[in-house]
Amino acid sequence: MTYIKIPKGWEIPENRVTPESVYINRRKFIKDLGIVGAGAISLFSSTACAQDSRLLKQLKPFQEKTLDADKNEDFTVTRPLTDEIDAATFNNFYEFTSSKSTVWRRVEKFKTRPWEIEISGLVDKPMTIDIDDLIKQMPLEERIYRFRCVETWAMVVPWIGFPMKALLEKVQPKTEAKYVRMVTFLDRKVASQQNNTRLPWPYVEGLTLAEAMNDLTLLVVGIYGHILPPQHGAPIRLIVPWKYGFKSIKSIVSIELTDKKPRTFWNVLIPREYGFEANVNPNVPHPRWSQAREWLLPSRDRMYPTQIYNGYGEYVAHLY
Our finding on whether 95 is near ligand MTE (CB under 6 A) is yes
Which of 168/191 has CB closer to ligand MTE?
191
Range list of β-strands (E), the chain? 70-71, 116-121, 127-130, 141-148, 153-163, 179-184, 204-208, 218-223, 226-227, 237-239, 252-258, 293-296, 303-305
We find the least distance from the C-beta atom of residue 63 to ligand MTE, in angstroms, to be 16
CA gap 145, 245 in Å, rounded: 12
CA gap 318, 320 in Å, rounded: 6
Phi, psi (degrees; rounded to nearest 5) at 21:
-60, -35
Instruction: Among 43, 49, 249, 296, indicate the residue that binds ligand MTE (CB under 6 A).
Output: 249
Which of 95/168 has CB closer to ligand MTE?
95
Instruction: Among 184, 264, 267, 306, indicate the residue that binds ligand MTE (CB under 6 A).
Output: 184
- Number of Cβ within 10 Å of residue 138's Cβ equals 16
Instruction: Among 112, 248, 267, 310, indicate the residue that binds ligand MTE (CB under 6 A).
Output: 248
DSSP secondary structure of 155-216 = EEEEEEEEEHHHHHHHH-B-TT--EEEEEE---TTT-GGGG-TTS-PSPEEEEEHHHHTSTT
Which of 248/306 has CB closer to ligand MTE?
248
Which of 93/115 has CB closer to ligand MTE?
93
Our finding on whether 91 is near ligand MTE (CB under 6 A) is yes
Burial class (CB in 10 A: 0-12, 13-18, 19+), 283: exposed
Phi, psi (degrees; rounded to nearest 5) at 259:
-100, 0
Distance of alpha carbon 275 from its chain centroid, rounded? 19
Our finding on whether 97 is near ligand MTE (CB under 6 A) is no
Which of 149/171 has CB closer to ligand MTE?
149
Residue 27 CB partners (closer than 8 Å, separation 6+)? 224, 225
Residues binding ligand MTE: number (CB under 6 A): 16
Instruction: Among 117, 144, 149, 221, indicate the residue that binds ligand MTE (CB under 6 A).
Output: 149
Instruction: Among 104, 110, 159, 246, indicate the residue that binds ligand MTE (CB under 6 A).
Output: 246
Instruction: Map the footprint of ligand MTE across residues 6-25, applying CB under 6 A.
Output: none
Which of 52/187 has CB closer to ligand MTE?
187
Instruction: Among 245, 262, 298, 311, indicate the residue that binds ligand MTE (CB under 6 A).
Output: 245
Binding mask 194-233 for ligand MTE (x = CB under 6 A): ---------x----------------------------xx
In one letter, which amino acid is 247?
A: K
Which of 39/230 has CB closer to ligand MTE?
230
CA gap 62, 228 in Å, rounded: 7
CA gap 316, 318 in Å, rounded: 5
Which of 245/313 has CB closer to ligand MTE?
245
Our finding on whether 159 is near ligand MTE (CB under 6 A) is no
Closest residue to ligand MTE, based on beta-carbon distance: 245
- Interacting span for ligand MTE (CB under 6 A) from 46-54, 91-99, 173-181, 310-318: 91-99
CA gap 273, 267 in Å, rounded: 8
**Which positions touch ligand MTE (CB under 6 A)?**
91-95, 149, 184, 203, 232-233, 245-246, 248-251
